Amino acid sequence: MESNNQERFKVGNRVILFTIILNVMLTLLKIGVGLFGNSAAIIADGLHSASDMITSVGVIVGMFLASKPEDDCHQYGHEKAESIAGFLLAIILTLTGLKIGFGSIEMLFHNRYETPHIFAAWVAFFSIIIKEYQFRITMKAAKELNSNAMMGDAWHHRSDALSSIAALGGILGARLGFGFLDPLAGTVVSLIVVKIGLTLLKAGIDELMDGAIDEEQMEEIQKEIRSMDGVIAVNEMKGRKHGSKAYVDVKICVDPLISVYAGHTIGEQIEHLVKAKLTNVKDVIVHLDPCGENLRDGKCKIHCNKG
Protein backbone atom coordinates (compact mmCIF):
# COMPACT_ATOMS: atom_id res chain seq x y z
CA MET A 1 0.00 0.00 0.00
CA GLU A 2 2.85 2.37 0.88
CA SER A 3 4.60 1.82 -2.48
CA ASN A 4 1.32 2.46 -4.31
CA ASN A 5 0.85 5.72 -2.42
CA GLN A 6 4.41 6.83 -3.18
CA GLU A 7 4.01 6.04 -6.89
CA ARG A 8 0.69 7.86 -6.89
CA PHE A 9 2.38 10.95 -5.42
CA LYS A 10 5.16 10.85 -8.03
CA VAL A 11 2.69 10.76 -10.92
CA GLY A 12 0.57 13.57 -9.49
CA ASN A 13 3.60 15.65 -8.57
CA ARG A 14 4.99 15.43 -12.10
CA VAL A 15 1.76 16.71 -13.68
CA ILE A 16 1.22 19.50 -11.14
CA LEU A 17 4.80 20.82 -11.34
CA PHE A 18 4.43 21.09 -15.11
CA THR A 19 1.20 23.09 -14.75
CA ILE A 20 2.83 25.37 -12.16
CA ILE A 21 5.59 26.29 -14.62
CA LEU A 22 2.98 27.15 -17.25
CA ASN A 23 1.01 29.21 -14.71
CA VAL A 24 4.06 31.27 -13.74
CA MET A 25 4.51 32.21 -17.39
CA LEU A 26 0.81 32.99 -17.87
CA THR A 27 0.56 35.06 -14.69
CA LEU A 28 3.49 37.31 -15.59
CA LEU A 29 2.27 37.67 -19.16
CA LYS A 30 -1.36 38.46 -18.27
CA ILE A 31 -0.70 40.94 -15.48
CA GLY A 32 2.02 42.69 -17.48
CA VAL A 33 -0.12 43.02 -20.60
CA GLY A 34 -3.19 43.91 -18.52
CA LEU A 35 -1.39 46.81 -16.82
CA PHE A 36 0.18 48.23 -19.96
CA GLY A 37 -2.76 47.36 -22.21
CA ASN A 38 -5.47 48.87 -19.96
CA SER A 39 -7.44 45.62 -19.58
CA ALA A 40 -9.18 44.94 -16.26
CA ALA A 41 -10.35 41.56 -17.54
CA ILE A 42 -6.79 40.42 -18.33
CA ILE A 43 -5.52 41.63 -14.94
CA ALA A 44 -8.32 39.68 -13.24
CA ASP A 45 -7.43 36.70 -15.40
CA GLY A 46 -3.79 37.05 -14.33
CA LEU A 47 -4.75 37.05 -10.65
CA HIS A 48 -6.77 33.92 -11.31
CA SER A 49 -3.70 32.24 -12.83
CA ALA A 50 -1.67 33.29 -9.78
CA SER A 51 -4.23 31.62 -7.53
CA ASP A 52 -3.84 28.49 -9.66
CA MET A 53 -0.18 28.34 -8.65
CA ILE A 54 -1.00 28.62 -4.96
CA THR A 55 -3.64 25.91 -5.08
CA SER A 56 -1.41 23.62 -7.13
CA VAL A 57 1.31 23.87 -4.48
CA GLY A 58 -1.33 23.05 -1.86
CA VAL A 59 -2.35 19.96 -3.81
CA ILE A 60 1.27 18.78 -3.96
CA VAL A 61 1.65 19.19 -0.19
CA GLY A 62 -1.64 17.40 0.42
CA MET A 63 -0.73 14.49 -1.85
CA PHE A 64 2.71 14.21 -0.23
CA LEU A 65 1.21 13.96 3.26
CA ALA A 66 -1.46 11.55 2.02
CA SER A 67 1.22 9.25 0.59
CA LYS A 68 2.80 8.69 4.03
CA PRO A 69 2.15 5.27 5.61
CA GLU A 70 0.16 4.63 8.78
CA ASP A 71 1.83 5.46 12.08
CA ASP A 72 0.98 5.29 15.80
CA CYS A 73 -0.78 8.66 15.71
CA HIS A 74 -2.68 8.01 12.46
CA GLN A 75 -3.40 4.30 12.39
CA TYR A 76 -5.80 4.56 9.45
CA GLY A 77 -3.32 6.46 7.28
CA HIS A 78 -3.00 10.07 6.13
CA GLU A 79 -5.24 10.04 3.05
CA LYS A 80 -7.48 12.79 4.43
CA ALA A 81 -4.60 15.26 4.11
CA GLU A 82 -5.48 15.33 0.43
CA SER A 83 -9.12 16.03 1.31
CA ILE A 84 -8.03 18.98 3.44
CA ALA A 85 -5.96 20.31 0.52
CA GLY A 86 -8.97 20.03 -1.77
CA PHE A 87 -11.18 21.79 0.78
CA LEU A 88 -8.72 24.69 1.15
CA LEU A 89 -8.38 24.87 -2.64
CA ALA A 90 -12.15 25.32 -2.94
CA ILE A 91 -12.12 28.15 -0.39
CA ILE A 92 -9.28 29.95 -2.20
CA LEU A 93 -11.05 29.54 -5.52
CA THR A 94 -14.30 30.97 -4.12
CA LEU A 95 -12.53 33.95 -2.51
CA THR A 96 -10.63 34.60 -5.74
CA GLY A 97 -13.91 34.77 -7.63
CA LEU A 98 -15.38 37.20 -5.10
CA LYS A 99 -12.31 39.44 -5.30
CA ILE A 100 -12.52 39.56 -9.09
CA GLY A 101 -16.24 40.32 -8.92
CA PHE A 102 -16.01 43.16 -6.40
CA GLY A 103 -13.21 44.83 -8.35
CA SER A 104 -15.05 44.59 -11.66
CA ILE A 105 -18.37 45.83 -10.21
CA GLU A 106 -16.60 48.82 -8.65
CA MET A 107 -15.18 49.73 -12.06
CA LEU A 108 -18.62 49.44 -13.66
CA PHE A 109 -20.32 51.73 -11.15
CA HIS A 110 -17.55 54.33 -11.26
CA ASN A 111 -17.16 54.19 -15.05
CA ARG A 112 -13.44 53.60 -14.61
CA TYR A 113 -12.56 51.74 -17.78
CA GLU A 114 -10.38 52.34 -20.78
CA THR A 115 -10.04 50.77 -24.21
CA PRO A 116 -7.63 47.82 -23.91
CA HIS A 117 -4.79 47.24 -26.37
CA ILE A 118 -5.34 44.61 -29.07
CA PHE A 119 -2.36 42.66 -27.72
CA ALA A 120 -4.46 41.88 -24.64
CA ALA A 121 -6.87 39.99 -26.89
CA TRP A 122 -4.06 37.81 -28.24
CA VAL A 123 -2.90 37.04 -24.71
CA ALA A 124 -6.43 36.01 -23.75
CA PHE A 125 -6.64 33.74 -26.80
CA PHE A 126 -3.26 32.16 -25.99
CA SER A 127 -4.38 31.64 -22.38
CA ILE A 128 -7.54 29.80 -23.45
CA ILE A 129 -5.47 27.20 -25.32
CA ILE A 130 -2.91 26.72 -22.52
CA LYS A 131 -5.48 26.53 -19.70
CA GLU A 132 -7.66 24.03 -21.55
CA TYR A 133 -4.57 21.88 -22.12
CA GLN A 134 -3.77 22.09 -18.40
CA PHE A 135 -7.33 21.11 -17.55
CA ARG A 136 -7.21 18.01 -19.74
CA ILE A 137 -3.88 16.63 -18.51
CA THR A 138 -4.71 17.34 -14.85
CA MET A 139 -8.21 15.85 -15.11
CA LYS A 140 -6.79 12.74 -16.81
CA ALA A 141 -4.32 12.26 -13.94
CA ALA A 142 -7.03 13.01 -11.34
CA LYS A 143 -9.26 10.24 -12.69
CA GLU A 144 -6.38 7.76 -12.92
CA LEU A 145 -5.30 8.52 -9.33
CA ASN A 146 -8.84 9.01 -7.95
CA SER A 147 -7.79 12.35 -6.50
CA ASN A 148 -10.48 14.89 -5.65
CA ALA A 149 -7.79 17.45 -4.84
CA MET A 150 -6.30 17.11 -8.33
CA MET A 151 -9.80 17.18 -9.80
CA GLY A 152 -10.36 20.49 -8.03
CA ASP A 153 -7.07 21.74 -9.44
CA ALA A 154 -8.19 20.67 -12.91
CA TRP A 155 -11.43 22.61 -12.59
CA HIS A 156 -9.41 25.58 -11.43
CA HIS A 157 -7.64 25.43 -14.80
CA ARG A 158 -10.96 25.09 -16.64
CA SER A 159 -12.37 28.09 -14.78
CA ASP A 160 -9.30 30.05 -15.86
CA ALA A 161 -9.95 29.04 -19.47
CA LEU A 162 -13.56 30.21 -19.15
CA SER A 163 -12.43 33.47 -17.59
CA SER A 164 -10.06 34.00 -20.52
CA ILE A 165 -12.96 33.48 -22.94
CA ALA A 166 -14.98 36.10 -21.06
CA ALA A 167 -11.95 38.40 -21.00
CA LEU A 168 -11.45 38.01 -24.75
CA GLY A 169 -15.08 38.93 -25.40
CA GLY A 170 -14.81 41.94 -23.10
CA ILE A 171 -11.62 43.19 -24.73
CA LEU A 172 -12.98 42.92 -28.26
CA GLY A 173 -16.23 44.59 -27.19
CA ALA A 174 -14.36 47.42 -25.49
CA ARG A 175 -12.26 48.01 -28.61
CA LEU A 176 -15.47 48.35 -30.61
CA GLY A 177 -16.48 51.25 -28.38
CA PHE A 178 -18.31 49.45 -25.60
CA GLY A 179 -15.85 50.13 -22.78
CA PHE A 180 -18.11 48.73 -20.09
CA LEU A 181 -17.83 45.24 -21.61
CA ASP A 182 -14.31 44.71 -20.23
CA PRO A 183 -15.22 45.06 -16.51
CA LEU A 184 -18.54 43.37 -17.27
CA ALA A 185 -16.58 40.38 -18.55
CA GLY A 186 -14.62 40.42 -15.29
CA THR A 187 -17.93 40.20 -13.41
CA VAL A 188 -19.04 37.22 -15.50
CA VAL A 189 -15.69 35.56 -14.81
CA SER A 190 -16.19 36.02 -11.07
CA LEU A 191 -19.59 34.31 -11.18
CA ILE A 192 -18.10 31.32 -13.02
CA VAL A 193 -15.23 31.03 -10.54
CA VAL A 194 -17.47 31.35 -7.46
CA LYS A 195 -19.88 28.70 -8.77
CA ILE A 196 -17.08 26.20 -9.38
CA GLY A 197 -15.55 27.04 -5.99
CA LEU A 198 -18.81 26.41 -4.12
CA THR A 199 -19.33 23.11 -5.97
CA LEU A 200 -15.85 21.92 -4.97
CA LEU A 201 -16.40 23.19 -1.42
CA LYS A 202 -19.54 21.07 -1.10
CA ALA A 203 -17.67 18.01 -2.39
CA GLY A 204 -14.78 18.68 0.00
CA ILE A 205 -17.07 18.92 3.02
CA ASP A 206 -18.75 15.67 2.01
CA GLU A 207 -15.39 13.89 1.81
CA LEU A 208 -14.13 15.25 5.13
CA MET A 209 -17.35 14.11 6.81
CA ASP A 210 -16.93 10.51 5.57
CA GLY A 211 -19.42 10.82 2.72
CA ALA A 212 -21.05 7.64 1.43
CA ILE A 213 -19.82 5.67 -1.57
CA ASP A 214 -21.96 5.74 -4.72
CA GLU A 215 -25.26 3.99 -3.94
CA GLU A 216 -25.61 2.26 -7.31
CA GLN A 217 -22.14 0.71 -7.06
CA MET A 218 -22.87 -0.55 -3.54
CA GLU A 219 -26.18 -2.07 -4.64
CA GLU A 220 -24.52 -3.94 -7.51
CA ILE A 221 -21.94 -5.39 -5.13
CA GLN A 222 -24.66 -6.40 -2.67
CA LYS A 223 -26.39 -8.38 -5.42
CA GLU A 224 -23.21 -10.34 -6.09
CA ILE A 225 -22.63 -10.96 -2.38
CA ARG A 226 -26.17 -12.32 -1.97
CA SER A 227 -25.50 -14.85 -4.74
CA MET A 228 -22.34 -16.21 -3.06
CA ASP A 229 -22.33 -19.70 -1.54
CA GLY A 230 -22.86 -19.60 2.22
CA VAL A 231 -24.41 -16.13 2.26
CA ILE A 232 -28.07 -16.27 3.28
CA ALA A 233 -28.60 -12.49 3.21
CA VAL A 234 -26.83 -9.14 3.40
CA ASN A 235 -28.05 -7.48 6.58
CA GLU A 236 -26.17 -4.22 6.04
CA MET A 237 -23.54 -2.75 3.75
CA LYS A 238 -22.10 0.74 4.00
CA GLY A 239 -18.99 2.58 2.88
CA ARG A 240 -17.27 5.86 3.63
CA LYS A 241 -14.75 7.99 1.78
CA HIS A 242 -11.29 8.44 3.28
CA GLY A 243 -9.38 10.84 1.06
CA SER A 244 -8.63 9.04 -2.19
CA LYS A 245 -9.43 5.73 -0.48
CA ALA A 246 -12.56 4.23 1.06
CA TYR A 247 -13.63 1.80 3.79
CA VAL A 248 -16.50 -0.67 3.48
CA ASP A 249 -18.40 -2.57 6.21
CA VAL A 250 -20.54 -5.59 5.37
CA LYS A 251 -22.86 -7.56 7.67
CA ILE A 252 -24.07 -10.88 6.32
CA CYS A 253 -26.32 -13.64 7.63
CA VAL A 254 -24.90 -17.21 7.62
CA ASP A 255 -25.77 -20.65 8.97
CA PRO A 256 -24.82 -20.62 12.70
CA LEU A 257 -23.34 -24.15 12.50
CA ILE A 258 -20.67 -23.48 9.86
CA SER A 259 -17.06 -23.66 11.02
CA VAL A 260 -14.92 -20.63 11.85
CA TYR A 261 -12.77 -21.50 8.84
CA ALA A 262 -15.79 -21.56 6.52
CA GLY A 263 -16.96 -18.20 7.86
CA HIS A 264 -13.48 -16.75 7.42
CA THR A 265 -13.37 -18.02 3.83
CA ILE A 266 -16.69 -16.34 3.04
CA GLY A 267 -15.39 -13.09 4.55
CA GLU A 268 -12.23 -13.23 2.42
CA GLN A 269 -14.27 -13.85 -0.72
CA ILE A 270 -16.41 -10.81 0.03
CA GLU A 271 -13.33 -8.68 0.70
CA HIS A 272 -11.76 -9.69 -2.62
CA LEU A 273 -15.02 -9.02 -4.45
CA VAL A 274 -15.43 -5.53 -2.98
CA LYS A 275 -11.81 -4.56 -3.70
CA ALA A 276 -12.12 -5.86 -7.26
CA LYS A 277 -15.24 -3.77 -7.88
CA LEU A 278 -14.08 -0.66 -6.00
CA THR A 279 -10.36 -0.30 -6.64
CA ASN A 280 -9.96 2.61 -4.20
CA VAL A 281 -11.16 0.58 -1.19
CA LYS A 282 -8.43 0.34 1.44
CA ASP A 283 -10.07 -2.09 3.85
CA VAL A 284 -13.23 -4.21 4.13
CA ILE A 285 -14.71 -5.35 7.44
CA VAL A 286 -17.04 -8.36 7.16
CA HIS A 287 -19.26 -9.17 10.15
CA LEU A 288 -21.05 -12.54 10.26
CA ASP A 289 -24.46 -12.74 11.93
CA PRO A 290 -25.79 -16.24 12.76
CA CYS A 291 -29.09 -16.99 11.11
CA GLY A 292 -32.04 -17.24 13.52
CA GLU A 293 -32.90 -20.79 12.51
CA ASN A 294 -30.59 -23.72 11.91
CA LEU A 295 -32.04 -24.71 8.54
CA ARG A 296 -29.89 -26.74 6.19
CA ASP A 297 -32.02 -25.71 3.21
CA GLY A 298 -30.43 -22.26 3.40
CA LYS A 299 -33.60 -20.45 4.43
CA CYS A 300 -34.04 -18.13 7.38
CA LYS A 301 -37.35 -16.51 8.22
CA ILE A 302 -36.53 -14.92 11.58
CA HIS A 303 -33.63 -12.48 11.03
CA CYS A 304 -33.24 -12.30 7.29
CA ASN A 305 -36.83 -12.64 6.08
CA LYS A 306 -35.54 -14.80 3.30
CA GLY A 307 -37.40 -17.97 2.57
Per-residue pLDDT of the chain (307 residues; tens, 9 = 90+): 555 667 777 888 888 888 888 888 888 888 888 888 777 667 777 777 777 777 788 788 888 888 788 888 888 888 888 888 888 888 887 887 888 788 778 877 877 656 677 887 888 898 899 989 999 999 998 888 877 778 878 887 887 787 778 778 877 887 887 777 767 777 887 887 888 888 888 888 888 888 888 888 899 999 999 999 999 999 999 999 887 788 999 999 999 999 999 999 999 999 999 999 988 888 999 999 998 655 455 555 545 544 4
Cβ neighbours around 95 below 10 Å, total = 14
Q: Which CATH number fits domain 2-208: 1.20.1510.10, 3.10.450.50, 3.40.1710.10, 1.20.1090.10?
A: 1.20.1510.10
pLDDT, position 254: 93
pLDDT, position 3: 53
Alpha-carbon torsion 22, 18, 140, 219, what sign?
negative
pLDDT, position 236: 92
Task: Specify the domain boundaries for CATH 3.30.70.1350 within the chain.
Answer: 215-290
pLDDT, position 31: 85
Amino acid, single-letter form, for residue 263: G
Exposed e or buried b for every residue in 275-288, given b needs 16+ CB within 10 A? eeebeebbbbebeb
Q: What is the pTM of this model?
A: 0.70
**Dist CA 127 CA 50 (whole Å):** 13
pLDDT, position 304: 52
Task: Specify the domain boundaries for CATH 1.20.1510.10 within the chain.
Answer: 2-208
Amino acid, single-letter form, for residue 50: A
Assign domain 215-290 to a CATH class: alpha beta
